[in-house]
């Protein structure tokens, strides 16, 4: 099975380089200076266990892939980039190529299933950072991450099982779990914290804000009749983080987007909860407020610390009293 990693940044670059090191057939799709460095010098991997530069096969678009018919595609771009990526992929590879949505949130699978016959939901629990072109940092202590996968919306098949075997050989801990989508909904609740973690400084205490965001999220999922993995069964709760000499992991994917001025995926995390709330009559003033704050952050290219948790809570209270 040949792996085409579409969106080879932090997560995609990390998965792709580890599969490459394990001897799998891999093509990375990237863009800009990141692509140029990978093509010229390879991809540098920094982790608790290694600091190496790995030669990789990298191209700029699906149209540059020599499609043979044995590929599976891992989507690893941010959700706001998924639709144009799917259109380019379908134009190059047709609608029957298997598509794995290794992304945050739950909207990508829906978008893919409109266009492709074989779609898979992949949980990504993988602490990784991409800030420097041609370099990814992997912070897993004992494994690189968890990539549990199911056929969308549920079940497993031979392709999902092969993906899990291959990624396990590459140092991941992946399960072919027929209910992996429930794990993704559990991670969605966890990821409602992403925008808070990205906006505040270490001296801030966002505990009450995060509590509100997650309480709204759980209420919206319950109203929609959506099941999610309970905390005691959540795989991400058991993941062990490691340290990279000379590096500190400052923040997750949304923080990395904020500090580099890239678009935010908050509309597909907190926005998913706002949408469910509006569909099912559940008030979500906290998550709706944080969508506005995220939009303001992106539009002004504002950096962490421009707003405090207390100011966000005040905005939420104002919205609730309208």
The model carries a pTM of 0.96
Contact by Cβ (8 Å): 126, 144: yes
Tell me which CATH homologous superfamily contains domain 2-178: NAD(P)-binding Rossmann-like Domain (3.40.50.720)
Distance (Å, rounded) from C-alpha 145 to C-alpha 239? 8
For residue 252, give both structure tokens: 């997750």
Please tell me the predicted confidence (pLDDT) of residue 116. 98
* 285 within 8 A of 320, measured Cβ to Cβ: yes
Tens digits of residue pLDDT in 218-270: 999 999 999 999 876 776 656 788 999 989 888 889 999 999 999 999 999 99
Asked if residue 153 has a cis previous peptide bond (ω within 30° of 0), the answer is yes
Per-residue pLDDT at 239: 76
Q: What kind of architecture, by CATH, is found in domain 183-320?
A: Orthogonal Bundle (1.10)
pLDDT at residue 322 in the model = 80
Model pLDDT, residue 180: 96
> Which parts of the chain sit beneath pLDDT 50?
none
- pLDDT value of residue 238: 67
Q: How far apart are CA 201 and CA 303, in angstroms?
A: 10
CA 113-80-110 angle, 5° bins: 15
Check residue 236 and give its pLDDT. 62
Domain extent listing, the chain: 2-178, 183-320
Provide the H-helix boundaries in 97-206.
Answer: 107-113, 158-169, 180-191, 194-199
Q: Give the separation between CA 27 and CA 58, rounded to whole angstroms.
A: 6
């Amino acid at each position: 099975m040949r792996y085409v990693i579409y969106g080879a940044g932090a997560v995609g670059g990390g998965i792709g380089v580890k599969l490459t090191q394990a001897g799998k057939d891999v093509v990375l799709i990237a863009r800009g200076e990141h692509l140029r460095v990978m093509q010229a010098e390879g991809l540098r991997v920094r982790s608790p266990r290694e600091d190496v530069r790995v030669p990789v096969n990298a191209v700029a678009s699906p149209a540059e892939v020599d499609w043979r018919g044995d590929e599976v595609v891992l989507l690893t771009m941010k959700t706001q980039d998924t639709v144009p990526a799917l259109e380019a992929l379908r134009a190059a590879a047709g609608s029957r190529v298997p598509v794995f949505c290794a992304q945050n949130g739950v909207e990508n699978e829906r978008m893919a299933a409109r266009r492709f016959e074989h779609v898979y939901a992949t949980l990504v629990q993988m602490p990784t950072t991409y800030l420097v072109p041609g370099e990814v940092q992997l912070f897993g202590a004992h494994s690189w991450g968890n990539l549990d996968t199911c056929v969308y919306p549920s079940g497993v098949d031979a392709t999902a099982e092969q993906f899990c075997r291959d990624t396990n050989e590459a140092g991941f801990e992946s399960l072919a779990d027929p209910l992996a989508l429930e794990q993704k909904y559990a991670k969605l609740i966890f990821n409602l914290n992403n925008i808070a973690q990205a906006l505040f400084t270490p001296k801030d205490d966002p505990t009450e804000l995060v509590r509100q965001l997650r309480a709204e999220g759980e209420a919206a999922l319950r109203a929609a009749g959506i099941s999610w993995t309970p905390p005691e069964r959540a795989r991400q709760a058991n993941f062990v983080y490691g340290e990279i000499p000379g590096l500190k992991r400052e923040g997750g994917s949304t923080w990395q987007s904020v500090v580099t001025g890239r678009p935010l995926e908050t509309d597909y995390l907190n926005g998913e909860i706002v949408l469910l709330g509006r569909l099912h009559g559940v008030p979500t003033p906290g998550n709706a407020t944080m969508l506005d704050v995220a939009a303001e952050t992106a539009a002004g290219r504002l950096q962490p610390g421009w707003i405090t948790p207390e100011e966000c809570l005040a905005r939420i209270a104002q919205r609730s009293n309208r």
